Structure 1
Amino acid sequence: VLSKAALALPGAIGWTPHIVHAHDWQTGLVPALLQRGFCKALPATRSVYTIHNIAFQGAFPGHDMRLAGLDPWLFNPMHSEHFGRFNMLKTGIAFADRVTTVSKRYAEEIQTPEFGWTLDAVIRHHGYKVSGITNGIDARAWDPASDPMLPAHFDAEDLAGKLACKEALRKELGLVPAEGACLVALVSRLTEQKGIDLLIDAVSPYIIAGRMQLAVLGSGDLHLENRLAALQARHPGWVHAWYGYNEALAHRMVAGADAFVVPSRFEPCGLTQMYAMRYGTLPLVRFTGGLADTVRDVSIGDGTGFSFGPIDLGHFSAALDRCLGLYQHFPAEWRAAQRRGMTTDFSWDKAATGYVDLYRGMTWT
């Protein structure tokens, strides 16, 4: 109903779009209905289909296809059928004129069995029309110089307010004012995909040594919440976990932390690492998807954070150790990395140019 209504709307209001841009499996019917002539008022309109997370595919019993208004013969491996089910995401990919993902590297990753969630062969088959455009952030809502949710403001030239944010955050979360300890934050869904289990497994030795404190905001899998609660109980005053959604606290944690961890097993784009860099908080990320596209490791000389490759405890711990070592022993290099991240343009003003170029390349005018 949503897809059909979206295609019927232009005719109802007397408007003919050059392009219809659909997103994820929920709108996978739009490119198919458009190409199959569902809406006679849009004979020349073309389609773009964006995959935000290929793990979510909208797979339904094959007989449900009749409800979609598509020809039954399209239930075949080249169009809508996938492992015996009607797959909405695959349908969108098959019929769209162009397919995009939310980062350049993710467009490459989903063509492999590791990241393709059984659709890698489909993506490779349509690779000629697949590209990646990295997401942007709202640079006005996420601006440390004017953010109304912060106790103090700061910018790349004057970081004094960031220290005030750190002190206020420690007080708010009940963390001890441990001199020299790096305050590490995580704001995330608490799921295996996000690598939360790695973080829990890795941090205790560094906390016991007085090298770091941990602040977590999020909710998700109960067993991970229970493990975080146990970690907090073992390290009172050094670990704090807040379960649920809290926009204001998310801003204060990003601003008050020294480092920000995103150890995801896969990450189509991710936004929190860009928020962190905007606020002078160095991200530690897995080298995957949009995390790889947006974070440059400090080891290359002009980096903005830290990254690791294989998703295991050893590689994550090594990256965490490098992060804490730079913070504690090389403050000038740490500040330089902060400023590089804070002055990088992650705004939608920049990201939108990729879509403008795509749209222009698809139209005659």
Structure 2
Amino acid sequence: MNNFLFAAAENDAIAYCKAGGMGDVVRDVPRQIAEKGDVTHIVVPSYGRLHQKGILVTTLNFELRGLTYTAELYEVVPKKTIKNIHHYVIHHPEIEAGGIAHIYHDDPEEPFFTDAIKYFIFCTAVAEAVKRNAFGELDVIHLHDWHSSLLLFLREYDLAYENLKKIRFIYSIHNLAIQGIRPFEDNYSSLDNWFPHIRYDRESLQDYRYTDCINLMAVGIRFADAVHTVSPSYKKDVMLPSSPPEFIGGEGLELDLQLANKEKRLFGILNGCNYKNINVEVKGQIYRNTVKALFRWLQEESKKYKADFLAHTGEKTMNYVGNRPKFIVSSVARLTEQKFYFFKRSPEAFVAILNKLEKVDGIFMLLGTGAPEYEELFRNMSYKHKNFIFTNGQSESLIDSMYLESDLYFMPSLFEPCGISQMLSMRNGNPCLVHHTGGLIDTVKHMKTGFGFDGKTYDEKIANMLTSFDVALDIFVNDKPTWNKIQSNAKKARFTWEKSVKKYYDLLYKL
């Protein structure tokens, strides 16, 4: 029996601990490992809230900032109890909830200032817990994104944690664009301030662009025994330099990724999707669920402009209760440059899509929160276009309804390491229209399971996006047999965790 530890910032197997796709992966992979009879321990930060109903396992003392820090390890109850899976959180008063999904901080002046502090404490506490055998004798530690990569720094340079060297470390890249860059010194949230007792090789940790800074994403790539991208096509992308907005690749770390590949440490394995025990909303509830969510947010929302907008959205949605439009396009995502750059830079392209929909009695439904400038763009669009319903919040039941009742799912990501939304939509038999990049190439086949667009220049991409949209709309309206075939193919497509985790065992874990 093999014993695994997953260390990450998110884990959707416990309630209120998810901001993005990483939370899904950290929930689903251990379930597949458990089916093989192996044991997984998953540890995430408590964010000042997730420990409250947990059981204290142990108190951990360790050195930071020249002081003795004390953190607590709690075992917590998951949404669903599964044999051989144990869920834990690390609690310390300085590991606080941020504004993004009550997890991440967004420091506008100094990016990663607060998050680096949180994850420095978290990773050192995890290292101490491993040293104390709190999770038993471990065979593999699987790290996810920069938030947990500091464990590799401790393994490499902290004499107190030399025991980590006998364990195999895997590093999964979920979002290469967010790298956790912090100064080496002269800052409260710097490496030297938190680890004054550790002697390290600066060159092996530094960012290529900001040589006075550590790059925690690079630390994961440089020191892990195996590095994993979450789709095969994204592995190819990240070994090439970025040239935005036409192409997003290695984001400054392509040389490290090329070296990892040369050393046979870099693997591209597609994320899976859950096809069992799915929560399914009742069909026909999409507008009711929108209005329910809006009323709930109206009670919580303190910002006047937001409350006004939610009321406007509710009024607009009521028009469609009992008067279903003929074609629903939907999108669910964090409102960021990665997901909606094309619409931010070319609002006229989005307007063209809304105009095309209006001609066939169609609507566009978008759900998400995120960067203020993106929220403002879509709020303004909603005031101007009656067939655009923008739900500026989060609601699981509404998201489920959107995946269930849409006719076409729209995913124009600038880059996409894997993507889960397209798989969830296809699972319901909804074709997707996607930018053919990263994991979207590996999952959506043009004119077979959905629709894709690409191009050599930015203008070409935008033109091809509109052309692909015209094709999809034309098939839906005028060629029902072809549309039904594409729908059926989308529903039959299978990206199972069983297949993916078999590759994890063969290529990453090597047990």
TM-score bracket, normalised by the shorter chain, equals: 0.7 to 0.9
Match of 2:452 in 1: 307
Q: Given the two structures, how large is their TM-score scaled by the length of structure 1? A: 0.84
- Which residue number in structure 2 is paired with residue 216 of structure 1? 366
Match of 1:186 in 2: 331
Pairing 1:107-126 to 2, within 5 Å after superposition: 107-114=235-242, 115-126=249-260
**Sequence identity of aligned pairs in percent?**
26
| Whole-angstrom distance in 1 between the partners of 2:285 and 2:432 | 17
Q: Deviations over 1:147-196 (max 9, x none)?
A: 1xx223xxxxxxxxxxx567978999335478884210111112232124
Which residue in 2 is equivalent to 1:104? 232
How many angstroms does 1:12 deviate by?
1.8
Pick the aligned partner of 1:225 from 375, 378, 399.
Answer: 375
Q: Is the 8 A contact 2:290 2:391 kept in 1?
A: no
Is the 8 Å Cα contact of residues 168 and 509 (structure 2) preserved in structure 1?
no
2:275 pairs with 1:139: yes
Structure with the higher fraction of residues in helix conformation: 1
Once structures 1 and 2 are overlaid, which stretch shifts more, 191-200 or 105-114? 191-200
Partner of 1:46: 168
* Deviation (angstroms), 1:49: 0.7
* Alpha-carbon separation, structure 2, partners of 1:261 and 1:193: 14
SS in 2 for 1:56: coil
- Which digits, 9 at most, give the CA deviation of each residue in 1:236-295, with x for residues without a partner? 2x2211111111000101111100000010111111101100011111000111111111
**340-349 or 127-136, which moves further after superposition?**
340-349
**Residue type matched to 2:191 in 1?**
M
User: Quick one: which amino acid aligns to residue 257 of structure 2?
Assistant: I
Indicate how the Cα distance of structure 1 residues 60 and 226 shifts in structure 2: closer, same or farther if over 3 A, else same: closer
Structure 2 counterpart of 1:151, which letter?
V
- Counterpart position of 2:144: 23
Structure 2: how far apart are the matches of 1:58 and 1:167? 40
1:65 aligns with 2:188: no
Map of 1:274-293 to 2, 5 A cutoff? 274-293=423-442
Corresponding residue number in structure 1 for 2:107: none
2:427 and 2:285 map into 1 onto residues whose CA distance is: 15
The 5-angstrom pairing of residues 153-168 of structure 1 reads 164=284
**Among residues 49, 60, 75, which one is paired with 2:202 in the alignment?**
75
- How does the TM-score come out when normalised to structure 2? 0.61
* Separation in 2, partners of 1:179, 1:10: 55
Q: Is the 8 A contact 1:165 1:255 kept in 2?
A: no
Q: Distance in 2 between matches of 1:307 and 1:205?
A: 20
Shift of residue 352, structure 1, vs aligned partner: 1.9
Q: Secondary structure at the match of 1:90?
A: helix
Gaps of 5+ in 2: 1-120, 243-248, 292-313
How many residue pairs align between the two structures? 340
Change over 3 Å in CA distance of 1:88–1:170 after alignment to 2: closer
C-alpha distance in structure 2 between counterparts of 1:68 and 1:169, whole Å: 49
User: Structure 1 stretch 92-101 or stretch 218-227: which is displaced more?
Assistant: 218-227
Look up the equivalent residue of 1:174 and give its one-letter code.
M
3-state SS in 1 of match to 2:334: coil
Query: Which residue matches 1:3?
Result: 123
1:19-54 deviations in Å (ceiling 9; x for gaps)? 211111111122232244542434421211111111
Q: Indicate the larger mover: 42-51 or 53-62.
A: 42-51
Name the amino acid aligned to 1:25: W
Show the counterpart of 1:156: none
Matches of 1:359 and 1:292, distance apart in 2: 23
Out of 191, 206, 223, the position equivalent to 1:95 is 223
Which has the bigger relative contact order, CA under 8 A and spacing at least 6? 1
Q: State yes or no: 1:174 paired with 2:318.
A: yes
Paired with 1:68 and 1:295, the residues of 2 have a C-alpha distance of 46
CA distance in structure 2 between the aligned counterparts of 1:321 and 1:169, rounded to whole angstroms: 29
Contact 1:29 1:88 in 2 (8 A): yes
Q: Distance in 2 between matches of 1:21 and 1:10?
A: 13
